[in-house]
Amino acid sequence: MARPAPAVDRAVAVLNHLAAYPERTFTLSALAQELGINKATAHALLAALVDAGYLIRDDGTKNYTLGATLIALGNAASLTNPAARLALPYMERLTADLDVECVASTAIHDEIVILTRAGTPRPFSLNAHPGQRLPLAPPLGAVFVAWANAEAVERWLAHLGPGLTEAELKPYRRALEFVRERGYSVGLGPAAVVGDEEYVLTDLVKASYEVHHIGAPVFDPDGRVVLELIMFGFRDTIAREDMPRYAERLCQAAEEVSKALA
> Sorting pLDDT into bands at 50, 70 and 90, what band is 2?
low
> Sorting pLDDT into bands at 50, 70 and 90, what band is 72?
low
Judge contact between 138 and 131, C-beta under 8 A: no
Which comes out higher in pLDDT, residue 75 or 6? Answer: 6
Flag whether pLDDT at 148 surpasses 80.
Answer: yes
Average pLDDT of the residues of the chain: 85
pLDDT at 195: 47
Average pLDDT of span 108-117: 87
Average pLDDT of span 94-112: 91
> Sorting pLDDT into bands at 50, 70 and 90, what band is 262?
confident
Flag whether pLDDT at 109 surpasses 70.
Answer: yes
Average pLDDT of span 131-145: 89
Domains within the chain, CATH numbers bracketed: 6-71 (1.10.10.10), 81-261 (3.30.450.40)
How many CB atoms sit inside 10 A of residue 97's CB? 9
Nearest residue to 244 via CA among 236, 235, 252: 252
**Mind spelling out the 3-state secondary structure of the chain?**
CCCCCHHHHHHHHHHHHHHHCCCCCECHHHHHHHHCCCHHHHHHHHHHHHHCCCEEECCCCCCEEECCHHHHHHHHHHHHCHHHHHHHHHHHHHHHHHCCEEEEEEEECCEEEEEEEECCCCCCCCCCCCCCEEECCCCCCHHHHHCCCHHHHHHHHHCCCCCCCHHHHHHHHHHHHHHHHHCCEEEECHHHCCCHHHCECCCCCCCEECEEEEEEEEECCCCCEEEEEEEECCCCCEEHHHHHHHHHHHHHHHHHHHHHHC
Average pLDDT of span 24-51: 90
Judge contact between 116 and 101, C-beta under 8 A: no
pLDDT at 104: 94
pLDDT at 218: 96
Flag whether pLDDT at 194 surpasses 50.
Answer: no
Q: Which of 95-99, 184-188, 242-246 has the highest mean pLDDT?
A: 95-99
Query: What span, in angstroms and rounded, lies between the C-alpha atoms of 96 and 118?
Result: 9
Judge contact between 155 and 163, C-beta under 8 A: no
The whole-model pTM stands at 0.73
> Sorting pLDDT into bands at 50, 70 and 90, what band is 192?
very low
Judge contact between 261 and 217, C-beta under 8 A: no
- Length of the chain, please? 262
